[in-house]
Amino acid sequence: MKTKQSSVKVLDVTLTNNDDFVTFFDRNYIVFQNHLIVLHGESNAFIEKYLNDKKLNFMVNAEFKKARPTKEIQAQETQTPKELPKKEEPPVLEHKTKTTLKVLDKLVRSGQELNIESDLLLLNRVNSGGKININGNLIITEIVEGSIRCNGDFMMLKSSPKANIVFHEVEVDNKYLTERLNRVELKNNEITITPVLKETNWG
């Protein structure tokens, strides 16, 4: 099947009486030979025979949607499009990181308790009865005889036979700590203790 689309010129005619109709088309029918004549009202055999004799195309009481004028279409296309309402962006969740490393060079005395949220580097000892509770990483360069509670990624400390050391709610056995610094961390749900050499990457 082959199809071809053509534009059609339509002439709407409202029938009132036969004489007026014939007078009009006798003068102008040549102009409307390429038009589709749409008759509105009560058509009759006389009118239809007249149009057929003139070889004019016609329909009776047909309704067509009127096309918008070209200027109207062009004006609409050039109008600035209305801005669509902006979608609300999901709230940006701020990633809270631990604060920077805190360095202390003081003795933690008996009865003294430190509660630390950041990482801590302690350059002194923890006496018996002293206590450190920390949620960050912990490095202690001197002997520990008090109590340590650490929930960070790791902690480093020397052999401390008298200390009570708890890492992520697990008590660390002091006998595994060597004289030098030891790195204590949680790997695969197991506490691992690794001796640290003199040249140490503290990161």
Examine the domain organization and report whether 59 and 112 are in the same domain.
Answer: no
CATH, residue 173: 2.160.20.70
Looking at residue 81, its pLDDT comes to 56
Residue 85 included in any domain: no
Residue 128 included in any domain: yes
Looking at residue 56, its pLDDT comes to 85
Residue 84 included in any domain: no
Domains held by the chain: number: 2
117: number of CA atoms within 13 Å, CB side?
Answer: 4
Q: Tokens 């801005």 correspond to what residue?
A: 83
Examine the domain organization and report whether 109 and 60 are in the same domain.
Answer: no
To 5 degrees, how large is the angle CA 57–CA 60–CA 61? Answer: 135
Looking at residue 71, its pLDDT comes to 59
Domain of 37 in residue numbering reads as: 9-65
Examine the domain organization and report whether 123 and 43 are in the same domain.
Answer: no
Looking at residue 26, its pLDDT comes to 85
Residue 13 included in any domain: yes
Residue 158 included in any domain: yes
Measured in degrees and rounded to the nearest 5, phi and psi for residue 93 equal -85, 120
Residue 73 included in any domain: no
Looking at residue 186, its pLDDT comes to 83
Q: 170, 97, 166: which is closest to 133 by C-alpha?
A: 166
Residue 182 included in any domain: yes
Looking at residue 95, its pLDDT comes to 41
Residue 166 included in any domain: yes
CA terminus-to-terminus distance, the chain: 78
Per the CB < 8 A criterion, the answer to whether 25 and 32 are in contact is yes
Mean pLDDT by 10 residues, the chain (203 residues): 62 82 82 80 85 85 62 57 62 50 92 93 94 94 93 89 90 82 85 74 53
Q: Which residues contact 191 (CB under 8 A, 6 or more apart)?
A: 167, 168, 170, 172, 184, 185
Looking at residue 136, its pLDDT comes to 92
Q: 167, 171, 159, 163: which is closest to 184 by C-alpha?
A: 167
Looking at residue 98, its pLDDT comes to 47
Looking at residue 133, its pLDDT comes to 96
Beta bridge partners of 108: 126
3-state DSSP of 14-64: ECCCHHHHHHHHHHHCCCCCCEEEEEECCCCHHHHHHHHHCCCEEEECCCC
Distance CA 203, CA 191 (A): 19
